Amino acid sequence: MAKVSGAKTVVIADIQADRVDFAVQNKFADAKIVVPMKRPQSIEDKLSFAKEVAEMVKNASGIGEVDAVYECTGVESCLQAAIYVSFKCYLIDSVS
């Protein structure tokens, strides 16, 4: 969806390596991140984990903050990471 919409760089993040590998191998994405399987409990830990994932995305993109995020899980920490990675974002779309 992002590539068809004209995105120059697409980063995929998922907890399953086979999904991110498939996306990169089939040119749906340019970079990949396998998100660690953590289940933070406290609000502070959830926010810290979201910031950690956001930094992984920023580093993988090669450009830092991104212009658009398609968040497809609805998981609280994933939505938080989407906000952190796209501080000046034009679009955060929760698809879940």
**Judging by DSSP bridges, how do beta strands 68-71 and 91-94 pair with one another?**
parallel
Q: Would 6 be classed as within a structural domain?
A: no
Q: What is the pLDDT of residue 76?
A: 82
How high is the pLDDT of residue 89? 56
Say whether pLDDT at 5 is over 80.
no
Q: Is pLDDT above 60 for 93? A: no
Q: In the prediction, which pLDDT does 88 show?
A: 63
Kindly report, residue by residue over 6-62, the tens digit of the pLDDT.
777 888 888 999 999 999 999 888 888 898 888 888 989 989 998 998 888 888 877
List residues bridging with 83 in a β-sheet: none
Side-chain-facing half-sphere of 9: CA atoms under 13 Å: 14
Domain that holds residue 58: 11-94
Question: 11-14 and 31-34: which strand pairing?
Answer: parallel
Could you tell me if residue 43 is inside a domain? yes
Quote the DSSP letter at residue 2: T
Cα separation of the two ends of the chain: 15
Does any domain span residue 4?
no
Domain count, the chain: 1
The reply to whether 56 falls in a domain is yes
